[in-house]
Amino acid sequence: MHFSDLGLKAELLRAVADQGYDTPTPIQQQAIPAVMTGRDLMATAQTGTGKTAGFTLPILHRLSSAPAGQLARVTKKPRVLVLVPTRELAIQVEESVRTYGKHLPIVSLAVFGGVGINPQIANLRRGVDILVATPGRLLDHIQQRTADLSAIEILVLDEADRMLDMGFIRDIRKIIALLPKQRQNLMFSATFSPDIRELAAGLLHNPASVDVAARNTAAETVAQCVIETNRDQKKELLCHLFATRGWHQVLVFARTKHGADALSKTLEKSGISSAAIHGNKSQGARTRALTDFKEGKLVALVATDIAARGIDIDALPYVINYELPDVAEDYVHRIGRTGRAGMEGKAISLVSHDERGNLRDIERLIKRDLERLVIPGFEASAIAPPKPVQPPRGARKPQPGRPQAKKTAQNPSRPQQHHSGNRHR
């Protein structure tokens, strides 16, 4: 099948060809015709399957084929609302709308927090056809009466599972209550938990169903392996891999914001151009880092899970799990950043003794044992390092230079005093 077989407008086919695409991905083959008919849609799709174009292309086709409602035409109110969980994903989706709609007179806008609201207000007043938004910032606009959703014809919930994980369910319900009753609803999610299914049941009407991947399976185009090592060797091992393998564009996952910053600094000191991206970074810093990474100015981008949700690079060759995630499903999302659009990718996980339980959970989830690699000089110790012994809660710390009195018959210990222990935490 080719894109020309899907019945899309000539302007859209031109834009697709400009991007070098000819054959639609499986989700695009199924979703595009369903959305073009006006049906509601419930789609299960992991990252890297082409789902963004799977809904932006048919939405652009519908908007440009049908006349706008009288109210929307006069007041320039948005006709399509796409709700997304993160700033990065909002930017990515709106970029997709502009990329595929560049030959059409359709205006789009992304609104999200972490940046000034006034430029967004000015753009909304000028008129927008497609509004891409994070729930919190959209509610800010609604409260300030700078966004009017009364002319929405199509609602898209993208990465619905992540929005629920991040606690947006109340915000989503508030927003849905403000929309016209008659509209098309599209829901995309990597997994469909009971909570997601409950939301879908109240939102979707006789939806078409698209399922392009078995639940929680890892992308088939991603080669996965594990390097077992000691935790205190991980930084040196990572720098060794960069030095010996000639990597040029690598997304590295760390578990915490502080850990991402520290690891980025370590890579920089080793001569590897790097930046960290996480929730504490300003939106400007996150956008600059992502742009520099996409353009090849950075060799490594160190990210936390949430910050990486909007990273969409078709030819990203490597994902490194410097630390395994606490939730096994997040491993699937992480490695889905590579092996996209039919390209091959590689995911390498550095696993220490304390993460072996996480590794077992991941292998159970994806129903396969991951290949183990051994890097000479960085082998894991046969015995797990002992955990540091914590003094009993409330115990007094030995004072430097003052030997502790022994408990003997001649020197009985004093009755134990109870402390909160706060001074010693």
- Please write the tens of the pLDDT for every residue from 119-129: 999 999 999 99
Can you give the pTM of this predicted structure? 0.62
Measure the CA–CA gap between 200 and 218, rounded to whole angstroms. 24
C-alpha torsion sign, points 413, 414, 419, 425: negative
Query: What's the confidence (pLDDT) of residue 411?
Result: 42
Q: What spatial distance separates the first Cα and last Cα of the chain, rounded to whole Å? A: 64
Query: What's the confidence (pLDDT) of residue 295?
Result: 86
Q: Give the chain's residues under pLDDT 70.
A: 46-48, 66-75, 213-220, 306-312, 314, 340-343, 382-425
Residue 86 DSSP class: S
Three-state DSSP state, 114: coil
Query: What's the confidence (pLDDT) of residue 56?
Result: 96
Query: In the numeric block, which tokens belong to residue 114?
Result: 């972490």
Query: What's the confidence (pLDDT) of residue 403?
Result: 45
**Residue 327 main-chain phi, psi, to 5 deg:** -105, 125
Indicate the length of the chain as a whole number. Answer: 425
- Please write the tens of the pLDDT for every residue from 376-408: 999 887 655 555 555 555 555 444 444 444 444
